[in-house]
Amino acid sequence: MFKNAYVITGSVASGKSQVCRFLRENGFKIIDADEISHEILQICKNEVVSNFGKNILSNGKIDRKKLGEIVFSDPQKLRVLEGILHPKIRDEIYAQAKELELLNSPYFVEIPLFFESGNFDDFKNVIVVFAPKEMLISRLMKRNNLDEMSANSRVALQIDIEKKREMANFVIDNSKDKSHLEAQIREFLAQISKPFKCFKFNANGNDFVIFSSDKMGVFNETARQICASKTGIGADGLIAICQNPEFDFEWDFYNSDGSPASMCGNGARAAAMFAYKKLKKGKRLKFKTGAGVINAQILDDISAHECLVEILFTTPKILQNEFEDFGRKWEIYDTGVPHLVTFVQDLNEFDVELARKMRQKYNANVNFAQSGETLRVRTYERGVEAETLACGTGMAACFFANFRRNEQKRKMTVIPTGGDRLNFRLEEGRIFYSGVVRETFEANFFIKES
């Protein structure tokens, strides 16, 4: 079933195209069955001509007006034409609907003969654009330059508009002027606008909006809207927690600019707490990310809104050993996503312009690290395109780079810009990372269609 689809139907001259035009102008996606049928008609030209004769051709193409004069005056011939076209039209409509379902937002399918065809059982939300029969006939006479008898015959070929109104889930009245119709459409849109239930979690300076989804989707635009600081909730990233029968869950992670990311250390700890608190998963969790499978553990259920969470990163990779650029020595590691690391004597040497240049040149996050009894880190994150208060994979990369400089340091406290003291340890080549995660609020967010 296509749960995000809304079929627009009605009768000839009821105003379906006007409704679709308004919706399209307001940013909604429309699947147009008429447009598809025009394409299918030409694709099936040979079969149609063999049934209705060469007289329907003009300049090598089927003349729809000539064909219409034949089928609209003979119900039997109309059924023959529908038998040729409708299965192919249905297949194309379904193919487009499957693509639009991935956006996880409302879209519309204009199917003039929805009830007559009986071929679209997977669409459950049906809008009838209504006008009284007398008005339909009057409009059709004026629009198509028909006499009253011809217009009445065409209207009579379809199920009565009053019956269609009874069969609909929603009715948009188009019996008055344009302003009335637009008010009716807006009223309908208000009915189907559903709040987006989400939760905000803070993991040591990084904040994430998290929600549960029954499937992986395409949430780039959702991420941009929700993560915007002035017009949305404001966050470093958006995380969709999705079902996966092989794991506790699978995640779909987006940076605040809508770009997807394979891994985020602080996001992973927040996602684990969400699954434990909201989805009632166990304290030991295993979930799938773009970087691989992550293991997590709730070490301490501190309160209703706080947990001490530890994750086990995927095995760190050395992407590039020490090299020089812009007068500094750098290394590149992959701890789920790529990170540049440079060691400094003083973290005040952090240079945001240099970090931005290095991020663009190497398409990696950029970390300045100061090593001592503790490891202090400042990170410029791609996707956020700014320095953040903390970055789990960035701290992990710095921790691993520091271990390679001094193998005694298998266990360290790492302090990011936000000032939290976070625990890292290395066991059998794998990095463990723990810290407190806090749920800050839950909200209903209304996604703006674009």
Write the DSSP symbol of residue 283. Answer: S
pLDDT one-digit tens code per residue, 106-146: 899 999 989 988 889 999 999 999 999 999 999 999 999 99
Task: Give SS3 for 389.
Answer: coil
Please give the helix or strand (H or E) that residue 155 lies within, else none: helix 148-156
Whether 217 shows a pLDDT value over 70: the answer reads no
Whether 218 shows a pLDDT value over 90: the answer reads no
Amino acid (one-letter) located at 171:
V
| CATH domain 5-192 topology | Rossmann fold (3.40.50)
What distance in Å separates the CA atoms of residue 414 and residue 421, rounded to the nearest whole number? 6
What backbone torsions phi and psi does residue 389 show, to the nearest 5 degrees?
-70, -20
Q: Where are the beta strands (DSSP E) in 277-327?
A: 284-289, 292-303, 306-312, 317-325
Whether 153 shows a pLDDT value over 80: the answer reads yes
Taking residues 47-74, what's their average pLDDT? 89
Domain boundaries, the chain: 5-192, 196-289, 317-428
Q: What is the pLDDT of residue 448?
A: 61
Number of Cβ within 10 Å of residue 377's Cβ equals 27
Q: What is the pLDDT of residue 245?
A: 92
Candidates 334, 352, 332, 357; CA nearest to 342 is 332
What distance in Å separates the CA atoms of residue 387 and residue 272, rounded to the nearest whole number? 25
Give yes or no on whether 196-289 and 317-428 have one common fold.
yes
171 with 132: CB under 8 angstroms? no
Confidence band (pLDDT; 50, 70, 90) for 450?
very low
- Look at 190 and 415; give whichever has higher pLDDT: 415
pLDDT one-digit tens code per residue, 239-257: 999 989 999 999 999 999 8
Whether 449 shows a pLDDT value over 60: the answer reads no
pLDDT one-digit tens code per residue, 328-349: 999 999 999 999 999 999 999 9
Give the distance from CA 398 to its chain's centroid: 33
Q: What is the pLDDT of residue 1?
A: 83
For residue 310, give Cα distances in angstroms to 345, 425, 437.
Answer: 30, 11, 10
Q: What is the pLDDT of residue 194?
A: 64
CATH label, 317-428, candidates 3.90.79.10, 3.40.47.10, 3.10.310.10, 1.10.10.350: 3.10.310.10
Tokens of 247: 């794991």
What distance in Å separates the CA atoms of residue 382 and residue 19, rounded to the nearest whole number? 42
pLDDT one-digit tens code per residue, 293-305: 999 999 999 999 9
pLDDT one-digit tens code per residue, 78-115: 889 988 998 899 999 999 999 998 877 889 999 998 99
What backbone torsions phi and psi does residue 226 show, to the nearest 5 degrees?
-70, -40
pLDDT one-digit tens code per residue, 420-448: 999 999 999 999 999 999 999 998 887 66
Q: What is the pLDDT of residue 281?
A: 96
Angle, CA 200 vertex, CA 208 and CA 106 arms, to 5°:
85
338-343/206-213 β-pairing: unpaired
Q: Is 242 a catalytic residue?
A: no
Whether 219 shows a pLDDT value over 70: the answer reads yes
124 with 25: CB under 8 angstroms? no
Whether 380 shows a pLDDT value over 80: the answer reads yes
Whether 203 shows a pLDDT value over 70: the answer reads yes
Q: What is the pLDDT of residue 229?
A: 86
Task: Give SS3 for 294.
Answer: strand
Q: Where are the beta strands (DSSP E) in 204-260?
A: 206-213, 237-242, 249-255
Whether 350 shows a pLDDT value over 60: the answer reads yes
Calculate the average pLDDT of the chain: 92
Confidence band (pLDDT; 50, 70, 90) for 156?
very high
| Residue among 20, 227, 264, 307 flagged as catalytic | 264
Whether 372 shows a pLDDT value over 80: the answer reads yes
Q: What is the pLDDT of residue 384?
A: 87
Whether 272 shows a pLDDT value over 90: the answer reads yes
pTM, whole model, 2 decimals? 0.57
Confidence band (pLDDT; 50, 70, 90) for 214?
confident
| CATH domain 196-289 topology | Diaminopimelate Epimerase; Chain A, domain 1 (3.10.310)
Q: Is 398 a catalytic residue?
A: no
Whether 179 shows a pLDDT value over 60: the answer reads yes
Taking residues 155-160, what's their average pLDDT? 93
Dihedral angle of Cα 108, 113, 118, 119, to the nearest 10 degrees: -60
Taking residues 22-42, what's their average pLDDT? 91
